[in-house]
Amino acid sequence: MATLKISQFITSTTNTPEELKKAVIKQMQGIKSFAEDAQDIVDHGAAGGFTGFIYYSDTTKFYSKNRNSILSFAREQAEDIGYSTVANMVAAFNCIDLKPHEVEYVLAFGEKSDDFTHLANGLAWFALEEVARDYVQWRQC
């Protein structure tokens, strides 16, 4: 039954894209781990340490693999919230200590930038938190 509900969540028309939901659940080692931790992620944030999102080696790899869907979703979110650019929104994240022009630089130059790990980690956490928030809201319906 839980598997059916998760598959319904993945294909539901919630805020987060289907491919990002799948990627986060896979990174967390599956449906059970994700479903068990989703509320804690929403309550405490990704910095609390959750399977697949603890080490920079994991978060940077996750970001690199899912870069396009993370950035596409971040652009949508920035527009919906009222930021003029995705860089302005990302620079406002609590876990990011970069100015908008520095975020733009890292987004443009990727792994060649000194701040890549920092930004990739923050955007991986963004994906985790948004998918968890979406799941918790969906589950309450």
**Rounded-to-integer distance, Cα 135 and Cα 125, Å:** 15
Which pLDDT does position 106 carry in this prediction?
94
User: Across residues 26-33, what is the average pLDDT?
Assistant: 94
Are 118 and 97 spatial neighbours (Cβ–Cβ below 8 Å)?
Answer: yes
User: Across residues 41-53, what is the average pLDDT?
Assistant: 96
Which pLDDT does position 72 carry in this prediction?
95
3-class secondary structure, 43: helix
Higher pLDDT, 46 or 140: 46
Are 38 and 30 spatial neighbours (Cβ–Cβ below 8 Å)?
Answer: no
pLDDT surpasses 90 at 44 = yes
The type of residue at 14 is: T
Q: What is 44-55 written as a DSSP string?
A: H-GGG--TTSSS
Q: Rg of the chain over CA atoms, in angstroms?
A: 15
CA 77 to centroid of chain Cα atoms: 12
pLDDT surpasses 80 at 5 = no
**pLDDT tens profile 72-117:** 999 999 999 999 999 999 999 999 999 999 999 999 988 888 899 9
Give Cα separations from 105 to 7, 92, 126 (angstroms). 37, 16, 19
Which pLDDT does position 113 carry in this prediction?
85
| Domain locations along the chain | 2-140
Q: What is the mean pLDDT of the chain?
A: 92
Which pLDDT does position 112 carry in this prediction?
87
**Rounded-to-integer distance, Cα 95 and Cα 90, Å:** 9
Which pLDDT does position 1 carry in this prediction?
42
112: buried, middle or exposed (CB in 10 Å: 19+, 13-18, 0-12)? exposed
User: Across residues 124-133, what is the average pLDDT?
Assistant: 97
Which pLDDT does position 65 carry in this prediction?
97
Which pLDDT does position 3 carry in this prediction?
53
